[in-house]
């Protein structure tokens, strides 16, 4: 925080943190802290990668949860496209799986960064 007269500065930027992911990304506050969980979904698997960002910086070791459907790598299914979003409490995540007419709702533990499947609708 000593840069720019105490306002802080971005010292590293545009550095890939995870390869082979879908375009789905969401962030939520870790309740009761100044931390933020940033979550992405790996393409071709059922893996969610949750990275913690703290006042000390980006934690490069993710919490990996295997939950829900595999987002296939079949280019005809286009499962890498779509959105996902946390609820305002940070305890649920909803995501669309493109071209499968599917929505999933997962439970999220904001203390640990772990996901569990809650509901799938086709």
Residue ranges making up the domain that contains 87: 20-121
Provide the number of structural domains found in the chain.
Answer: 1
Residue 104 located in a structural domain: yes
Residue ranges of the chain with per-residue pLDDT less than 50: none
Exposed, middle or buried by CB within 10 Å (0-12, 13-18, 19+), for 24? buried
Q: Exposed e or buried b for every residue in 43-79, given b needs 16+ CB within 10 A?
A: bebebbbbbbeeeeeeeeebbebebbeebbeeeeeeb
Residue 81 located in a structural domain: yes
Residue 8 located in a structural domain: no
Residue 32 located in a structural domain: yes
Length of the chain: 122
Residue 83 located in a structural domain: yes
Residue 6 located in a structural domain: no
């Amino acid at each position: 925080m000593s840069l720019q007269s105490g306002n802080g500065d971005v010292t590293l930027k545009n550095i890939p943190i995870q390869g082979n992911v879908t375009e789905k990304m969401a962030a939520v506050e870790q309740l009761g802290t100044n931390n933020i969980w940033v979550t992405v979904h790996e393409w071709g698997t059922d893996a969610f990668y949750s990275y913690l960002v703290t006042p000390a910086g980006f934690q490069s070791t993710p919490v990996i949860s295997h939950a829900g459907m595999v987002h296939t790598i079949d280019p005809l299914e286009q499962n890498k496209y779509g959105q996902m979003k946390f609820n305002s409490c940070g305890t649920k995540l909803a995501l669309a799986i493109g071209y499968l007419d599917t929505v999933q709702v997962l439970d999220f533990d904001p203390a640990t960064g772990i996901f569990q499947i809650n509901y799938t609708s086709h």
